[in-house]
Structure 1
Amino acid sequence: MARLHFFGRLMDAFGTNTETVALPAGINDTSALRAWLDNERQLGGLLLEKTIRVAINDTIVSEPWPIADSDDIAFLPPVGGG
């Protein structure tokens, strides 16, 4: 099962920072995962924002990127600071 990690405002939207899921059939890349999760959780496009980056197994990837049930997948919103 894939392990999903959420940071920043995404943690608030999901109500957790980590979750384990079995990827449904046909969800085999980061773009499909984003669309499925956003729809499943009724996030109104939050995960579809271009500023949300994705890391697979601790490496930020270009999308779409292939994923598997054994992956650690992190969703990273932009970071602000002062």
Structure 2
Amino acid sequence: MATEILYFAWVREKIGVGAETLNLPDSLSTVADLVGWLAGRSDGHAEAFAEPARLRAAIDQVFVPLEATLGHPREIAIFPPVTGG
């Protein structure tokens, strides 16, 4: 099943695209596994995902920790921490 992966802020800038539609391998069980797998897609991906602790994620528009189980999502967003004030 195809999953839309959305990238925001400097993650998007390093990768060079705002979204990709990918068929995820069955071997991926967590968001952290996904981040590791994505890091191997290109030099830009590797740079964007070099420090996973700096990333946040949402599965189907619900914020989740990187240890969250993927299941069968329609959409996964990956972004830096949100700041505001």
Q: Structure 2 length normalisation: TM-score?
A: 0.79
Identity over the aligned pairs, expressed in percent?
A: 24
Gaps of 5+ in 1: none
How much has 1:50 moved relative to structure 2? 0.9
In 2, Cα distance between equivalents of 1:58 and 1:25: 21
Aligned length: 82
Partner of 1:39: 40
CA RMSD of aligned residues (A): 2.1
Gaps of 5+ in 2: none
| Ranges of 4+ aligned residues in structure 1 off by more than 3 Å | 42-46, 79-82
Q: Relative to total residues, which structure has the larger helix share, 1 or 2?
A: 2
Q: Classify the secondary structure of the residue corresponding to 1:50.
A: helix
Q: Structure 1 length normalisation: TM-score?
A: 0.81
* Residue pairs, 1:29-68, within 5 angstroms: 29-42=30-43, 43-44=45-46, 46-47=48-49, 48-68=51-71
In 2, Cα distance between equivalents of 1:2 and 1:37: 13
Q: Does structure 2 retain, via aligned residues, the 8 Å contact 1:2–1:68?
A: no
